[in-house]
Structure 1
Amino acid sequence: MALSLRSFTTTVSTAVTAAQGAASSLLDLSVGTPGRAILESVSGMGLWLQSVALQILTRNRLSTSEGEDVDSFIADFGLTREPGVAATGNILFSSFSPATASATIPVGALVLTISNISYAVVADSTNAAWNNAANGYIRPAGVQSLALPVQCTQTGTAGNASAGAICLLGTAVSGIDTVTNPAALTNGGDGQTDAAVRAGFVTWLNSLNRATLAAIEGAVEAIATNIMVQGVENADTAGNFLPGNIVLYVDDGSGAVSDALIAQAYAVANEYRASPVSIQVVRPSVSTPTVSMTLTLAPNSNASSVQALITAAISGYFNALDIGQGAVYSRLSVLAYGASSSVVSISNLLLNGGTSDIPGETGVAIRAGSVTYG
């Protein structure tokens, strides 16, 4: 139902008409008279009350709430907005004179981009260079470089970085002279938008019956904004028929999900499964398609900068594909043209050496591969 709202002018005009209609003699309510001033002040107060009523109405419904009001609405149901995700990846720590001395890179050591976005070294006990006593990584004498895991110190897509963008040492480390990221960091994600919270709230309501595949998938996807889940019923991880079993393929857009996330996903899914149902939570198989193209650029264009923009756009497209979703060949040219206005034409565009789409496969996640330019 449409609300009957009034502007200040309409409110004053209505008040003047009502006052004159109730009076037995002609009233002087022209602009500047005491009577007109009283009616205008009362109309202004009425306009304020009308705005308060509108604010109350918008805050009473999730579909019209914004920001903190959305958070307070879902908090009544024990829900919270999904937080952003910090970008992660590997950084190459190198020395100009590796033979003269070793180096220790401690957990928490910072590396930076030119725009001062920082990334901290994180612990990984499976890395061959890890040393528990040093609480860090050891570069032995004679070894020039170490590839170490880092995590952005802030959440969100601001932490995503193109290859080579992380190039500064934020923490001085004796025996380390340069740093760089050979591959782009693309798995950082912003916190849930208001629209995503509303959609997630509907999914949560629909999942209250639990024990359904949609409920289990929705619960795991709610761990963070970048979580992707594909569930397969009555099958094992090899695709063989297995009654009463559910396989959950889980990815965070990186194609290399951590053991901690797999364990967390299993714990969440286990709370939603029916009693006799078994659940397997595994990483998807990862496909990294190759892309090649020949670019014609506008005069005076910086080829390397344009190529970096196109690579980032194509990588972002692949990394955002759901598990089991295929890649569309024609989408690549749209991304390339949209990445930079310097692109005049594109030729010899190939996806995995051909011009066909890549069909989706159960349990397979398509993630960013190499992009080359002729």
Structure 2
Amino acid sequence: MALTFQSFRTTLGNMVASAQGACPSLLDLNIGSPGRAMLEAVAGLGLWFQFIALQILSRTRLATSIGADADSFVQDFGLTRLPGTAATGTVTFTSFSPASQSATVPVGATVRTASSLVFTVVQDMTNPAWSAGAGAYVRPAGTGSITVPVECASTGATGNVAAGAICLLGTAISGIDTVTNTAALTNGSDGESDAALRTRFVSYINSRSKATVAAIENAVTDVSADLIYQVLENVDTSGAFLPGNVVVFVDDGSGDVSDSVIDAVYAAVDDVRPAAVSIQVVRPNIVRPPVAMTVSVGSTGDLATVQATISTNIATYLNGLAIGASASYSRLIQIAYAASTSVTNVTDVTLAGGTVDLPATTGTAYRAGTVSFG
């Protein structure tokens, strides 16, 4: 039911008209009169009651709830807002005089960008530079540099930075002189917005107690809204006919989704699958097509900066492609020109060595590879 709200002037006018209409003699309701003051006081209370009614309405409907009110609404149905993720990647620590001494890079050491965005070194025991004895990464004497993983100290897309943006040591490390990220960081994401939460809530409710493809897709997005997926029925992972089987290809845009995410998606899908239906949750076939082009810039542009921006934007485009989607050759040219107004010409563009789109292939995801400039 819609409410019709009135302004203070309209409310007061209606009250004056009603009071005068109910009285056989003329009332003194001029500005400053006692009668006018009483009516204005009541009209003010009326506005306050209108505000209270509006607040109640906005908090009792998901369509008009925001922030914490939207969270509390969906939590009553067992749904929670998906949090943001911190950008991760690798940085390279380098010494100007590697032969003179070794260096130890501890877990928790910080590096940052020129804009003071902080990244923290995290543990990876599979990294060749990791030393179990030292509990840290070690650059041996004679080795010029080591590459280690880092994670942004804050969640959100703000941690997605271009190659070379991480350039300052936040923690002084003996035997280390410089740091940089040779590849862009692109996997940071903001927390789920109110609009996205409302949309997912509809899918969540509509898929309850239904063993449908929509229910499976909703189960995947419940794990993380950043996941890219493709659901296929009655085939196995090779595409061969397999009745009663469901294959879920999952990626997070990096082309190397973790085992923990695969396990979480499997558990979520298993909760909604019907009896006698088998499921497989696997990574897609990742193809990283090399991109090459020659870019010319005007006198007002910096070629290195433009090339770094183009590399980052191409990586963002490829990493955002759906599983089973084609990769557009012409989009690369568009990305190059859009990188800066100083770009005057883009030539010799190739995608995987060719000048045509890469075809859409079931179970295959195109992700960022090398970008070279002539």
Asked if Structure 1 and Structure 2 have the same fold, meaning a TM-score greater than 0.5 normalized by the shorter chain, the answer is yes
Contact 1:84/1:192, CA 8 A, preserved across alignment: yes
**Partners of 1:6 and 1:294 in 2: how far apart?**
64
Match of 2:137 in 1: 137
CA distance in 1, matches of 2:223, 2:131: 31
Instruction: Give the corresponding residue for 1:261.
Output: 261
What residue in structure 1 maps to residue 14 of structure 2? 14
C-alpha deviation, 1:106, in angstroms: 2.0
Q: Which range moves more in the overlay, 358-367 or 153-162?
A: 358-367
CA RMSD in angstroms comes to 2.2
8 Å contact kept, 1:231–1:248: yes
| Contact residue 189 and residue 225 of structure 1 kept, 8 A | no
Relative distance call for 1:341 and 1:236 in structure 2 (3 A) is same
Say whether the 8 Å CA contact 1:114–1:166 is kept in structure 2.
Answer: yes
CA distance in 2, matches of 1:292, 1:257: 26
Residue 18 of structure 1 and its aligned partner are, at CA, apart by 0.7
8 A Cα contact 2:209 2:272, kept in partner: no
Measure the CA separation in 2 of the matches of 1:142 and 1:299: 41
CA distance in 1 between counterparts of 2:199 and 2:87 reads 24
Quote the Cα distance in structure 1 between the aligned partners of 2:100 and 2:296. 47
Structure 1 residue 172, shift from structure 2 partner: 2.2
The answer as to whether partners of 1:167 and 1:178 remain within 8 angstroms in 2 is yes
- Structure 2 stretches lacking a partner, 5+ long: none
- Percent identical among aligned pairs is 56
Amino acid at match of 2:31: V
| Structure 2 partner of 1:149 | 149
Tell me: CA distance 1:145–1:299, structure 2 relative to 1, closer, same or farther (3 Å).
closer
Residues 151 and 14 of structure 1: CA distance in aligned 2, closer, same or farther (over 3 Å): same
2:170 maps to what in 1? Answer: 170
Q: Is residue 362 of structure 1 aligned with residue 362 of structure 2?
A: yes
Displacement of 1:334: 4.3
How far, CA to CA, are the matches of 2:366 and 2:198 in structure 1?
Answer: 28
User: What is the DSSP-based 3-state SS (H/G/I as helix, E as strand, rest coil) of the residue aligned with 2:13?
Assistant: helix
Which residue does the alignment assign to 1:286?
286
Match of 2:239 in 1: 239
Q: In 1, Cα distance between the equivalents of 2:97 and 2:190?
A: 40
1:325 to partner: Cα distance: 2.0
* Residue of structure 1 in register with 2:160 after alignment: 160
Distance 1:274 1:349 in 2: 48
After TM superposition, the structure 1 stretch with the greater mean CA deviation from structure 2, 152-161 or 39-48, is 39-48
1:67 and 1:297 mapped to 2: Cα distance? 45
Task: Name the counterpart of 2:82.
Answer: 82
Distance 1:296 1:288, change over 3 A: same
The alignment partner of 1:147 has SS state of strand
Which deviates the most, 293-302 or 112-121? 293-302
Partner SS, residue 248 of structure 1: strand
Instruction: Determine the structure 1 residue equivalent to 2:309.
Output: 309
Written as runs of structure 1 = structure 2, the 5 A alignment for 1:1-374 is 2-295=2-295, 297-343=297-343, 346=346, 349-374=349-374
CA shift for structure 1 position 93: 1.8
Does the CA-based 8 Å contact 1:257-1:283 persist in structure 2? Answer: yes
Structure 1 residue 311: deviation in Å? Answer: 3.0
Q: 1:323, 1:43 → 2: CA distance?
A: 60
Distance (Å, rounded) in 2 between the aligned partners of 1:210 and 1:188: 32
Letter in 2 for 1:70: A
Amino acid at match of 2:79: L
- 2:113–2:168 CA contact under 8 A, matched in 1: yes
Unpaired runs of at least 5, structure 1: none
User: Given residue 208 of structure 1, which amino acid in structure 2 is its aligned partner?
Assistant: R
Structure 2 length normalisation: TM-score?
A: 0.92
Give distance in 1, aligned partners of 2:294 and 2:75.
52
CA positional deviation for 1:333: 4.4
CA, structure 1 residues 2+271, in 2 after alignment: closer, same or farther (shift >3 Å)?
Answer: closer
Deviation at 1:344, TM superposition (A): 5.1
SS at match of 2:44: helix
| 1:229-256 CA distance string (max 9 Å, x none) | 2122222222222233222211111111
| Cα deviation, residue 82, structure 1 | 0.1
1:97-152 CA distance string (max 9 Å, x none):
22233322222221111111111222222222222232222222222222211111
Which amino acid in 1 is paired with 2:81?
A: R
